[in-house]
């Protein structure tokens, strides 16, 4: 006897790349049938990512992913789906914030760490009492970046 619910099966199918079947199952599961917080969060996050990616319903997708993070922040996959959805919708600022939040709870997660590396992290302004966009901060920030590059080890071919 298979005790897996449609929500369990939908998440498993999405993880396996079978998005069409997984999304059909997840879309049909009412939230009232998901008493397990972890499963509810995973279902919302995969459904959100899938809606954004395959049905071009980005706004709904982001909302579902955000809701998933609010339900269960102890599950790294919900952060990962939120980051992926934000990246796909070209919301770099939102993606960086989601990575940062995810790494607060899961500091060693390899995929979140890779996203952090790819997206980059803005450093604090050189002169913190001035706006980041002020001319002195922009010039000094560029200078700092160039100077740091001088002291990085270079690969020798």
pLDDT digits (tens, 9 = 90+) for 101-139: 999 999 999 999 999 989 987 788 999 999 989 999 999
Q: From CA 30, how far away is CA 7, in angstroms rounded?
A: 9
**Average pLDDT of the residues of the chain:** 89
Q: Supply the Cα-derived Rg of the chain in whole angstroms.
A: 20
* Token couple for 144: 């700092």
**75 token code pair:** 């599950």
pLDDT tier for residue 147 given thresholds of 50, 70 and 90? confident
Report the pLDDT value the prediction gives residue 33, as an integer from 0 to 100: 73
Q: Is the pLDDT of residue 1 over 90?
A: no
Give one DSSP letter per residue of the chain, joined into a string: -----HHHHHHHHHHTT-HHHHHHHHHHS-GGG--SHHHHHHHHHHHHHHHHHHS--HHHHHHHHHHHHHH-TT-HHHHHHHHHHHHHTT-HHHHHHHHHHHHHH-TT-HHHHHHHHHH--PPPPSSTTS-TTSHHHHHHHHHHHHHHHHTSPPPP-
Q: What is the pLDDT of residue 11?
A: 95
Global pTM? 0.76
């Amino acid at each position: 006897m298979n005790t897996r619910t449609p929500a369990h099966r939908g998440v498993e199918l999405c993880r396996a790349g079978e998005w069409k079947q997984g999304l059909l199952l997840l879309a049909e599961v009412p939230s009232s049938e998901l008493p397990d917080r972890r499963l509810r969060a995973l279902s919302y996050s995969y459904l959100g990512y899938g809606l954004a990616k395959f049905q071009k319903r980005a706004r709904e997708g982001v909302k579902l992913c955000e809701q998933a993070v609010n339900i269960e922040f102890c599950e790294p996959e919900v952060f990962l789906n939120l980051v992926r959805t934000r990246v796909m919708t070209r919301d770099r600022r939102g993606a960086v914030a989601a990575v940062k939040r995810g790494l607060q709870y899961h500091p060693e997660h390899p995929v979140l760490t890779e996203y952090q590396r790819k997206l980059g992290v803005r450093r604090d302004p050189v002169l913190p009492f001035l706006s980041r966009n002020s001319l002195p901060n922009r010039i000094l920030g560029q200078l700092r970046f160039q100077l740091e590059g001088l002291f990085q080890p270079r690969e020798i071919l």
